[in-house]
Amino acid sequence: MSVVLDLTAVLVMYAFSELIAQKTHAIIDTVLTVSVLSLIGFWLGILPKDMFVVSGIDTFGMAIVGLMLTSLGTTIDLGELKRQSKVVMIAITCAIGASVLIILVALLLGHKNYGIIGAPIYAGGNAATLVLLNALKSHHMQTLTTYALAVLTFQNFVGIPIATYALRKEAQRFLERGVFESKAETKVKTTGKFLQQLPTTPVMCLAKLGLVASLSYGASLVVHGKINYLVICFIFGIIFYQLGFLEKGSLEKTASSGLITFLVTVVILDSLANTSPQQVLIVIGPLLICLAIGTVGVILTALLISRFSQVSFEMAVALGLTCTFGFPTTMIMSQEVAASLGKTSAEQNALENYFLPKMLTAGLVTVTLISVFFAGFAINYLH
């Protein structure tokens, strides 16, 4: 198959998967659908196993991951995190509670690696998966790679329905109180401007992201890889955004964010080319255990933390479970719950203003800060 046919096949699968995600309001997300289509294609021989290599996605996609993690760092607004400190604390604590319980159960069952891989992904999803798959590839751990992708693609099915139920209960409690805020919380930009801003053009933004990612790679060599290169990209993204060298959400200003998101998402599917049906069957048990234990960990932690944080148990559960789906589901879920339970436009607006800042902040913290650092720490213990 020629390069253009390989690339077109991947693009068509991805486009179809995006359509499914839109129609199901992200309950069946893009990664799940495109993963299933890829597996079926590889197993039936419809898709060549080297299609990601031949199409150039494998090489270019991995090169662009560093830029995306750097850009992800620019989404961290330290001022907003400070204002939502209680939400940040709950989200972090619940993610830690879930991760600790997953690892403890894995150790008790004698499968440490499953815990090491499952915990960071459950606690944050895509970013953690990118870091872990990079390490698993160098260790040639194909079964664990399949397991990592399985946790990533199926955690939505556990987190979304439970979080939705919890938000609905919290919405009913909120409406019963009858005290509505008229305005959403206002975000104040606090980014420092210690470095003079350069002209904001798509290529300039890409160049600056590339420079910071390259600096991150150099820093990882200095520390002999003890801190993963992608983790340093994320840290340097935060730092250089605060300094003013990088724009907030730099990737969105490159006029290529859709293409980059596509590349970074499908590059993880390269690992599926060598995944056999037997390996999929092997990871089903560990997958179900990881999802169940992780969810129990979030619920138990939320129960404890709600007792002294002056936040309801249901709200704490919803905030904690944002680690299993992140943005944009945090936004969609908040809007849909508000629309379904608010009887008037005033009630709907009040519910949105109440939920959105909290859910967006919690999702941001778990899928960026927590997952990346967990993953970077966890890979040092893979054997």
**Overall number of domains in the chain:** 1
| Predicted pLDDT at 66 | 85
Domain extent for 275: 3-381
Q: What is the mean pLDDT for each group of 10 consecutive residues in the chain (383 residues)? A: 81 90 72 85 87 80 83 78 87 94 95 92 81 77 88 86 92 81 43 54 89 93 80 87 86 79 77 81 94 97 92 95 82 84 88 87 79 75 71
Burial of 114: CB neighbours in 10 Å, binned 0-12, 13-18, 19+: buried
Q: Are 84 and 114 in contact (CB under 8 A)?
A: no
Q: What CATH number has the domain bearing residue 370?
A: 1.20.1530
